[in-house]
């Protein structure tokens, strides 16, 4: 009889500890995630290891997407450009342009591979390709192209250029895709 009482008390104690641990886990989930402060140049070099992490960056906003203000481009001290998307924020204020902007958000990787390029070619064939560039837009946004290191003008030329770059990366690193990094903003502020 005493042995049964011992097991009953032990079971109740274990349940209390387990419930207490679950409550602690919920509290931990609600804590804000600390951002890793990183320079844009470093972020672009170490993107593979930082992807998915919350980062905090700062740079001069050189361009805001004129269609919806849902993207800004930040220039680093080293002359590199990084795309920042408003995501759930909706849009950025026009005052960001030519100002120093500090952004906290999640670093994301955009991969361009053969499947991506074939889908793009299909949109061209179906005449459903979205145009975001200046003028006729067929060549794409000049600022975004510069951030990616693109020099081609038309969509067809851009696709061919990406294929050439993918082949070179496959040869050098064994990776059959290109990686472009951007930040999905959670919050931002105009510093200067």
Map out the domains of the chain as residue ranges.
1-31, 36-190
User: How many CA atoms lie within 13 Å of 149's alpha carbon, on the beta-carbon side?
Assistant: 10
Angle 146-92-101 from CA coordinates, rounded to 5°: 70
pTM score, two decimals? 0.76
| More confident call, 32 vs 90 | 90
**Whole-angstrom distance, CA of residue 55 vs CA of residue 140:** 28
The fold of 36-190 is OB fold (Dihydrolipoamide Acetyltransferase, E2P) (2.40.50)
Q: pLDDT per residue over 51-88, tens digit each?
A: 999 999 999 999 998 878 999 999 998 999 999 999 99
């Amino acid at each position: 009889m005493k042995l049964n009482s011992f097991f009953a008390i032990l079971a109740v104690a274990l349940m209390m500890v387990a419930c207490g641990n679950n409550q602690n886990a919920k509290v931990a989930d609600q804590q804000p995630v600390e951002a890793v402060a990183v320079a844009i140049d470093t972020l672009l070099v170490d993107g593979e290891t930082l992807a998915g992490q919350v980062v905090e960056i700062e740079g001069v906003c050189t361009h805001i997407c004129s269609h919806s203000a849902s993207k800004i481009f930040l220039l680093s001290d080293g002359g590199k450009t990084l795309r920042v998307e408003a995501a759930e924020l909706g849009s950025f204020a026009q005052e960001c342009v030519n100002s120093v902007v500090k952004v906290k958000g999640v670093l994301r990787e955009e991969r361009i591979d053969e499947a991506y390029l074939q889908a793009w070619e299909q949109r061209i064939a179906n005449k459903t390709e979205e145009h975001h560039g200046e003028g006729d837009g067929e060549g794409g946004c000049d600022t975004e192209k510069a951030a990616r290191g693109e020099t081609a003008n038309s969509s067809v030329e851009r696709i061919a250029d990406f294929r050439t770059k993918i082949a070179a990366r496959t040869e050098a690193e064994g990776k059959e895709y290109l990686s472009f990094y951007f930040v999905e903003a959670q919050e931002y502020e105009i510093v200067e």
